[in-house]
Amino acid sequence: MSFTQRLKDFVGWEDEQKNVDAGQILDTKVTKKTVVAIGTMRAGKTTHFAGLGATAQYKASESAKSDSRFRAIIQEGATNILDDIAELRGGHFPEATKLITSTTIRPGFTFEWEEPTFFGSKWFTVKRQASMPVIDFAGEQLVQLIHKVRAARTLEQASAIQGTDQLTNTVHQCSALLPVINAERAEGLPIFKPEPFEKVTGLSKHPDVNLQRMLSPIIEYKHDNKAYTPPLERVALVITACDVLFPIAQLISNHTGRPFDPLNPEISNQSLDTFMKAFFPGTHSLVHSLNVKVQYFPSFFELEKDVKGAVQYWNPEETDPVKRNPKIKRGNIFDSPDWEHNVNRPKFSEYWFNREIEWLKEFATMV
């Protein structure tokens, strides 16, 4: 952060020009940055972002009592993210997003942080926003982005594309990426489950290939248009269904030659980095070639089990394992004296969801 910007933050000054371009929805005096969330089919995006939304709501409620305010605006659009959050709190996994045959931009979140300055007045605060739209991917539709970029030879032509193409516009504005990767897509491990590549034209049977085909066009776009599009400053990778890796931690450690414990804050990032390098080597190489800071977040939900350790289901009579709906374990007033924070609260990797929100804050406040 420059000395000039630090001085402006010190007194709570915001540039008027930034206000015009930000397109914010919460306050007219705020600077916004965009991170694009992306993942292949059945990566767990819907469930993860429902958990992120629930965590953000808890955090926003708690921040109302402090001088440093956090606000979370959930942009539903044509999605059902609020229903998804309610389903999690009721112990249900949200319904999986239906297979689509084109790339779409789904609304996501806008998070805002408002910090008091040296003067300590509500009139002198520093506000920053992080916007998170979600790109839903099917097949090789993102490759169309490269064709359009190559056809644009002038700034005016590129601007015309951005004005009419939602995908290009979203990628153009972003300066961070948040790929969502399902742990069960790790080929070579006993928990491996293939993607539904037969159902969508263009999908590879190798998950690592699909991830590279998603990320490469975005990286190419940024490289080809670096004169007038924000560079990529940060990358964070979310590993969903991370709990399936815990029982085979020693096996993964044998593969990587490193200790593996995603829940240990001391080695979590290193553990998941070596996991990606071993089982998603192409994606790992592509992300690290950007020479930016890479962060990992484990994501999982604890399941309800009986006294024998068997997973409990809402529809135990269902024979199709794809259609069976396991119960998410929930907190209740008997879990702790702090009943206010435990009523109807799902058991999940909330610590890491909070870390993800803090990562977004760090990203949003970088100038």
42-56, 108-122, 340-354 — which is least confidently predicted?
A: 108-122
Name the token pair of 202.
């263009």
185-189, 289-293, 338-342 — which is least confidently predicted?
A: 338-342
Supply the DSSP symbol for 79.
S
- Higher-confidence position of 121 and 320: 320
- Cross-strand partners of 254: none
Separation between Cα atoms, residue 251 and residue 190, nearest integer Å: 10
The predicted-structure confidence for 248-257, as pLDDT tens digits, reads as follows: 999 999 999 9
- Cross-strand partners of 297: 238
Q: Which residues contact 325 (CB under 8 A, 6 or more apart)?
A: 92, 93, 313, 314, 315, 318
234-240 and 174-182 strand pairing: parallel
Confidence of residue 1 (pLDDT cuts 50, 70, 90): very low
Count of CB atoms situated within 10 Å of the CB of 161: 17
Name the token pair of 92.
């249900």
Mean pLDDT of all residues belonging to the chain: 80
- Domains, the chain, in order of start with CATH, read 33-301+349-365 (3.40.50.300), 305-347 (no CATH)
Asked whether residue 287 carries a pLDDT value surpassing 90, the answer given is yes
What is the distance in angstroms between the CA of the first residue and the CA of the last residue of the chain?
5
Maximum average pLDDT range among 66-80, 112-126, 248-262: 248-262
Average pLDDT in the 280-308 region?
Answer: 94
